[in-house]
Amino acid sequence: MAHQRENFSLNTIIGPDTWVKGDIESGGFTRIDGSIQGDVSAKGRVVIGEKARMKSNVSGTAITIGGVVYGNVLASERLVILASALVMGDIITRRIQADEGCLIHGKVMVCQTDEEWDKAIAEYRDVQGIRSAFAGITRNHG
């Protein structure tokens, strides 16, 4: 029987003195130690270092947060929030570990089944679509 190992090859690094404005899509493992204003979507693991500062919605398979994330977090497998972390946004995941001392301000939803996950993600996307539609109206008419 062949044993599959998780792919730990590093695809994307945002270094500690790097500032990114714009969305990032990564095909695999992503490490962020800098500052980002824009959504981060990874098809693999995401590690957000202690010095990272993000105004971003973050999605990936397994996410570890050590820095500041102002935005929603979607972790399809698991989420680890370290003691040094601050998350200001909603969380949807299948498993969560929140270390003592971390700060979370938002709604946390832990899905036990694939059906719960699919429903939570569909509702999240609906709400995001409505918000962006209202933002467009406000920008164009306000």
Q: Which of 6, 43, 80 is nearest to 69 (CA)?
A: 80
Phi and psi torsions of 15, nearest 5°: -70, 170
> Whose structure tokens read 């040094």?
84
User: Above 70 in pLDDT, residue 110?
Assistant: yes
Long-range contacts of 30-35 (CB under 8 A, 24+ apart): 30/60, 32/67, 33/67
In this prediction, residue 101 carries a pLDDT of 96
Phi and psi torsions of 135, nearest 5°: -65, -40
Q: For 56-93, how does the pLDDT look when each residue is reduced to its tens digit (9 = 90+)?
A: 999 999 999 999 999 999 999 999 999 999 999 999 99
In this prediction, residue 136 carries a pLDDT of 65
Phi and psi torsions of 123, nearest 5°: -65, -40
User: Above 80 in pLDDT, residue 131?
Assistant: no
Q: Where are the domains of the chain?
A: 10-110, 113-142
Rounded distance between C-alpha atoms, residue 88 and residue 125, angstroms: 18
